[in-house]
A and B are shown apart, each in its own frame.
Chain A
Amino acid sequence: MKYEVIMAGEQTLTEKILSRAAGKAVTPNDIVEISVDLIGFHDLTGFHVIEVIESVGYKYIPNPEKLVIAFDHLVPPPDVRSAEIQKLVRELARKSKVLNFHDVGDGILHQLLLEKYVEPGQVVVGADSHTSTAGALGAFAQGMGATDVAAALLTGKTWVSVPQSFKVVLKGVPKKWVTGKDVALEILREFKADYFNGMSLEFYVEKSSEFPMDYRATVSNMGIEFNADSTLFVPDAETYSYLKNERGVECKMISPDKNASYVDEHVIDLKDVDLLVAAPYSVDNVKGVREVEGMEVDMVFIGSCTNGRLSDLEIAAKMMKGRKVRSRCVVIPASRKVFNKALELGYIQTLVSAGCVVTFSTCGPCIGGHFGVAGPDEVILSTSNRNFKGRMGSPNSKTFLVGPSVAAASAVLGKVSEPGELQ
């Protein structure tokens, strides 16, 4: 990607990206039209985007080269209507020559965007709120509704209200078993779900390798739960090596200016972050795992675009090696690539031997779709990102959001447990 030099004062990463995309220097609260680099949608929003495009008289999807489609929400289709939706999107994608098309089983859209498409400094929009995940690579990424995404496809542009930038510094080294999920929950515990509404969070990692890409993806994924306008990790050595090792590409890095001004700054010392849980029915109802320890668990779900990555499966496999699960446990890798790697490393075999149900990538139980819909009064421990009433099935079920180590240890013991309990 080429960057034109925009003359402006010292800028945050957000302001830099948006200035480039607007073709002029922007400041917070400006409402500007920006060009879009990458657009995504999935099966469940895709048919709606297509309806909008067709309603303005288009027979093909415009700008197919910017588009990534991944079927993930209802895959493989659990009912006729889902199959019908997918057929409609698949056929139009083929006719429109959408090359970046991922059918059933390739992976969850947000994971595929990281694995194959997103570059630092891009503007990414997607018809799904968790498009924020792409911020892990230093992109300005926003979820939008079907009409906004259709408009982005039709015009190559969208509009944004330029958010104020807020700086978060992650310093030090996390404790054993503490991962990106606990950091996301720590932010929700401290600031609650409405504090960052209208702001863009920029994360500076002091020791880049101590907060690897998988953790960053989890935090950016949950950026929408903070209601932040976007959640970006300032590209660093970890970003560079992820892109080089996983994708074989050398991307141009982009950084905020040294004296960029932020609305505020918050420092998190990773050694102080504990294992946390978000209790029903709100993502910011955060407690220490100890506070709910011992509660019986009906089902554990390890997966989703939040925590279905290789490091999550590695942690689960470590916890379950040579053991059996007492709670029902469903494990879903976020992409085929993750699945294959986990097979190669023996994690899948370990999880299957422990009694987990392991399947190809799909959103599955995260939206109460299939592969483990929550029943009335059931207690679910999930590594996904939302515990709203009825989100995973029955409105009377209760979802507790946790990281992979607590999920796996609890599955083995059949009750909410810290990983240390296993020894």
Chain B
Amino acid sequence: MIVSGRVIKLGDKIDTDLIIPAKHLKYTDPQYLAQHVLEPLDPEFHKKASKGVVLIAGKLFGMGSSREQAAIALKAAGVKAVLAESFARIFFRNAVNNGLPVMSCSKITEFVVDGDYISVNLSTGEVSLPEKGINLKCKELPEVVIKILSSGGLIEYLKGVK
């Protein structure tokens, strides 16, 4: 499973209150949520992401609350994958369950800057930045996670298994 796109780079500890503030949690409609994703950080984020981007972040991406809307909003806004140095456990699961690819990559922020073109093979953990001639090896995702992601999320996956 391969995803690619231009990079938007964020810092450490992007918490779920930043990804989708609590006032939007009364709704689950992906299109509505997409309009407000990362709003406190950059109200224009959803426009920048709309063509399809790969997010690169530092430590503990998605820390904080269990709100699944954080993963739904990112995906609906056009985020194709998130590669971070580490993830908060709940967010990581929510992302997979909603078909948003996520991969831990311990030193990724040292190699990537905003606007880079990146290609990620989720099954092997190979990451390449063709314009820079850089190839990295990150932690590949377990097979079951790839299957859930390919189905589009946990519920779709479970329906398929039944």
- Decide: B17 and A227 in contact? CB cutoff 8 A: no
Give the residues in chain A near B142, CB-CB below 8 Å: 31
Within 8 A of B (CB), among A139-156: 142-148, 151
Asked if A241 lies at the interface with its beta carbon under 8 angstroms from chain B, I say no
Q: Chain B, interface size: which category?
A: 35 or more
Cα–Cα, bound, A145→B26 (Å): 15
Chain B residue nearest to A160 in the complex (CB): B89
Interchain nearest-CB distance for B86 vs A (Å):
6
Asked if A395 lies at the interface with its beta carbon under 8 angstroms from chain B, I say yes
Pick from B65, B153, B159: contact of A147, CB under 8 Å: B153
Q: What residues make up the interface of A, taking CB atoms closer than 8 Å to B?
A: 31, 44-45, 48, 51-52, 55-56, 74, 81-82, 85, 127-129, 131, 142-148, 151, 193-194, 197-198, 227, 229, 282, 367-369, 386, 388-391, 395
Cα–Cα, bound, A194→B90 (Å): 14
- Decide: A51 and B66 in contact? CB cutoff 8 A: no
Give the residues in chain B near A82, CB-CB below 8 Å: 26
Give the residues in chain A near B153, CB-CB below 8 Å: 147
Asked if B25 lies at the interface with its beta carbon under 8 angstroms from chain A, I say yes
Give the residues in chain B near A395, CB-CB below 8 Å: 40
Using known A-B contacts A45-B66, A147-B98, A197-B88, determine if residue A368 contacts B40 with beta carbons closer than 8 Å.
Answer: no
Cα–Cα, bound, A45→B69 (Å): 10
Give the residues in chain A near B158, CB-CB below 8 Å: 56, 151
Pick from A52, A81, A227, A369: contact of B60, CB under 8 Å: A227
Using known A-B contacts A151-B154, A197-B88, A282-B13, determine if residue A145 contacts B21 with beta carbons closer than 8 Å.
Answer: no
Chain A residue nearest to B15 in the complex (CB): A388
Give the residues in chain B near A56, CB-CB below 8 Å: 155, 158-159
Could you pull out 10 A-B pairs where Cβ atoms are within 8 angstroms? A44-B25, A127-B66, A128-B66, A146-B68, A147-B153, A147-B155, A367-B22, A390-B40, A391-B22, A395-B40
- Decide: B21 and A390 in contact? CB cutoff 8 A: yes
- Decide: B68 and A48 in contact? CB cutoff 8 A: yes
- Decide: A148 and B155 in contact? CB cutoff 8 A: no
Cα–Cα, bound, A369→B13 (Å): 23
- Decide: A147 and B97 in contact? CB cutoff 8 A: yes
Interchain nearest-CB distance for A366 vs B (Å):
9
- Given contacts A145-B66, A282-B13, A390-B18, 15 further A-B pairs with CB under 8 A are A48-B68, A56-B155, A74-B26, A128-B65, A144-B90, A145-B90, A145-B94, A147-B153, A148-B93, A194-B13, A388-B15, A388-B18, A388-B64, A390-B40, A391-B22
Asked if B50 lies at the interface with its beta carbon under 8 angstroms from chain A, I say no
Pick from B13, B15, B23, B97: contact of A145, CB under 8 Å: B97
Cα–Cα, bound, A56→B154 (Å): 11
Q: What residues make up the interface of B, taking CB atoms closer than 8 Å to A?
A: 13, 15, 17-18, 21-23, 25-28, 40, 59-60, 63-69, 71, 86, 88-90, 93-94, 97-98, 142, 153-155, 158-159
- Decide: A143 and B64 in contact? CB cutoff 8 A: no
Using known A-B contacts A197-B86, A227-B89, A386-B64, determine if residue A147 contacts B22 with beta carbons closer than 8 Å.
Answer: no
- Decide: B94 and A51 in contact? CB cutoff 8 A: no
Give the residues in chain B near A198, CB-CB below 8 Å: 89
Pick from B13, B17, B65, B97: contact of A390, CB under 8 Å: B17
- Decide: B155 and A52 in contact? CB cutoff 8 A: yes
- Decide: A193 and B17 in contact? CB cutoff 8 A: no
Cα–Cα, bound, A11→B153 (Å): 35
- Decide: B64 and A147 in contact? CB cutoff 8 A: no
Give the residues in chain B near A74, CB-CB below 8 Å: 26
Give the residues in chain A near B67, CB-CB below 8 Å: 45, 145
Residue among A31, A45, A74 with the most chain B CB within 10 A? A45
- Decide: A193 and B13 in contact? CB cutoff 8 A: yes
Interchain nearest-CB distance for B58 vs A (Å):
10
- Decide: B26 and A81 in contact? CB cutoff 8 A: yes
Give the residues in chain A near B71, CB-CB below 8 Å: 145
Give the residues in chain A near B23, CB-CB below 8 Å: 368
Give the residues in chain A near B98, CB-CB below 8 Å: 147
Interchain nearest-CB distance for A290 vs B (Å):
26
Interchain nearest-CB distance for A143 vs B (Å):
5
Cα–Cα, bound, A408→B34 (Å): 40
Cα–Cα, bound, A389→B41 (Å): 9
Interchain nearest-CB distance for B46 vs A (Å):
17
Cα–Cα, bound, A55→B158 (Å): 12
Give the residues in chain A near B86, CB-CB below 8 Å: 194, 197
Give the residues in chain B near A145, CB-CB below 8 Å: 66-68, 71, 90, 93-94, 97
Cα–Cα, bound, A131→B89 (Å): 13
Pick from B13, B65, B69: contact of A129, CB under 8 Å: B65
Using known A-B contacts A151-B154, A282-B13, A386-B64, determine if residue A129 contacts B26 with beta carbons closer than 8 Å.
Answer: no
Chain A residue nearest to B89 in the complex (CB): A229
Give the residues in chain A near B94, CB-CB below 8 Å: 145, 147-148
Give the residues in chain A near B21, CB-CB below 8 Å: 368, 390
Using known A-B contacts A52-B155, A147-B97, determine if residue A386 contacts B17 with beta carbons closer than 8 Å.
Answer: yes
Using known A-B contacts A45-B66, A129-B66, A193-B60, determine if residue A55 contacts B155 with beta carbons closer than 8 Å.
Answer: yes
